Amino acid sequence: MDAYIEQAGLGGILTKVRNGERLSLDDGRQLYQHPNILAVGYLANIVRERKNGNQAFFIYNQHINYSNICTNLCKFCAFGKEKGHALAYEMSIEEVKEKVRQRLDEPITEIHVVGGIHPDLPFSYYLDLLRGIKDVRPEVHIQAFTCVEIHHLAQLAGKPVDTTLEELMAAGLGSMPGGGAEVFSPRIRRLTCERKLSGEGWLEVARTAHRLGLRTNATMLYGHIESIDERLEHLDALRHTQDETGGFLAFIPLAFHPKNTEMAEHSNTSGINDLKNIAVSRLMLDNFPHIKAYWVMVGPKLAQVALAFGADDMDGTVKEEVITHMAGAETEQALGHKTLIRLIHEAGRQPVQRDTLYNVLATF
């Protein structure tokens, strides 16, 4: 195989990968532009197996999107709606608790909570939301609020981000999901989400969370107007932040879904683009423990294949995913854990049910 990689012109990168050396942005550019997906995937798989062996993780989780009312109205998003819009909704704390109650018979270990930037819900709503979930399901880990939401909550509370996070942690916040990162480039933010917290602002919230001991994820929304260099700068900013804090758990490349968005003229991403983003992020993010192939966005079939191209995690059972489905996702709303286990087995990997912090709960 090494001769094959050398013939593909990737011998220099292979040497660096074998020696555990950091890849440069030029290396990243070469990988993104390389036509041979097998060669790029082979390199990513070396890192994937060094970090996670043959294990492929999944989690038993539930998604709750408490409200889609949002003042940012990003052009790539079909989920966020202005207050008063026919499709706008907001759940009462009792409705959130009912969602949790409805699934008490399932062995869910994580509840993933994300919403928009709501113009008038008070800070107390978010504390009550966390406490309400814990009332119904005390043992569950709550992974809630993107860095963008946390920044907004700090403004609502009129307090610094660290104090705000401490109050949320006391109410039950266990970790934070990786959304809202999009592409950090100011050009992309100006053209697609000009009202959103800046890339530097997103990273600063993540740093603050990590300082308090909160683990967080990171994402990148690819497949729209971003250039390869903008993707690489995004990955580079993440790995520098991870050098400083070590607080990121997983990176999730998010495939752009254009339907019902203001960027609907774009096509869906291709399988090769999806695999490239997984493989290149595995290679560039040498200090991230995990790369997720989020089956909701890339489909269960490609997420399964991605386990040989750098990914070591398929996310989880999910259920009631709204953000991608409003943007036209054709995947199911949920995958049973038996399906996840079968997909992982068929990929030749060892299925591992994990908790949010990647502690092993069961192997199959």
For ligand V47, the nearest residue by Cβ is 179
Using the rule CB under 6 A, is 179 a contact of ligand V47? yes
Q: Could you tell me whether strands 61-64 and 110-113 are parallel, antiparallel, or unpaired per DSSP bridges?
A: parallel
CB nearer to ligand V47: give 132 or 179. 179
Measured distance CA(244)–CA(91) in Å, rounded = 38
User: Is 265 assigned a ligand-binding role in the annotation?
Assistant: no
- Choose the binding region for ligand V47 from 39-47, 71-79, 130-138, 155-163 (rule: CB under 6 A): 71-79
Measured distance CA(319)–CA(335) in Å, rounded = 7
Using the rule CB under 6 A, is 193 a contact of ligand V47? no
Within 108-147, the residues that bind ligand V47 by CB under 6 A are 114, 146
Using the rule CB under 6 A, is 66 a contact of ligand V47? no
CB nearer to ligand V47: give 274 or 315. 315
User: Is 77 assigned a ligand-binding role in the annotation?
Assistant: yes
Question: Which residue matches tokens 């995913």?
Answer: 321
Q: Nearest 5 degrees, angle CA 218-CA 224-CA 230?
A: 60
> Smallest distance from the beta carbon of 244 to ligand V47, in angstroms?
20
Within 233-262, the residues that bind ligand V47 by CB under 6 A are 250, 252, 254, 256-257, 261
User: Is 193 assigned a ligand-binding role in the annotation?
Assistant: no
* Type of residue numbered 229: D
> Smallest distance from the beta carbon of 4 to ligand V47, in angstroms?
34
Instruction: Tally helices (H) and strands (E) across the chain.
Output: 16, 11
Measured distance CA(70)–CA(119) in Å, rounded = 7
Q: Do 250 and 175 meet the contact criterion of CB atoms below 8 Å apart?
A: no
Total residues interacting with ligand V47, rule: CB under 6 A: 24
> Smallest distance from the beta carbon of 79 to ligand V47, in angstroms?
6
Q: Tell me the H-state helices in the chain.
A: 2-7, 11-19, 25-33, 37-52, 93-102, 123-136, 147-157, 161-171, 186-192, 199-211, 228-245, 271-284, 295-298, 300-306, 323-326, 337-346
304 burial (CB, 10 Å; 0-12 / 13-18 / 19+) is: buried
Using the rule CB under 6 A, is 226 a contact of ligand V47? no
User: Is 70 assigned a ligand-binding role in the annotation?
Assistant: yes
Sheet holding 350-354, edge to edge: 313-316, 55-59, 350-354, 360-363
Within 145-174, the residues that bind ligand V47 by CB under 6 A are 146
User: Is 147 assigned a ligand-binding role in the annotation?
Assistant: no
CB nearer to ligand V47: give 60 or 256. 256
Q: What tokens were used for 213?
A: 């001991």
User: What's the DSSP call for residue 67?
Assistant: B
CB nearer to ligand V47: give 323 or 341. 323
> Smallest distance from the beta carbon of 10 to ligand V47, in angstroms?
30
Residue 226 CB neighbour total at 10 angstroms: 21
Within 9-38, the residues that bind ligand V47 by CB under 6 A are none
Using the rule CB under 6 A, is 327 a contact of ligand V47? yes
CB nearer to ligand V47: give 40 or 303. 303
CB nearer to ligand V47: give 24 or 72. 72
Per CB under 6 A, residues contacting ligand V47 are 76-78, 114, 146, 177-180, 182, 217, 219, 221, 250, 252, 254, 256-257, 261, 294, 315, 323-324, 327
Sequence ranges of the binding site: 70, 74, 76-77, 182
Sequence ranges of the binding site for S-adenosyl-L-methionine: 76, 182
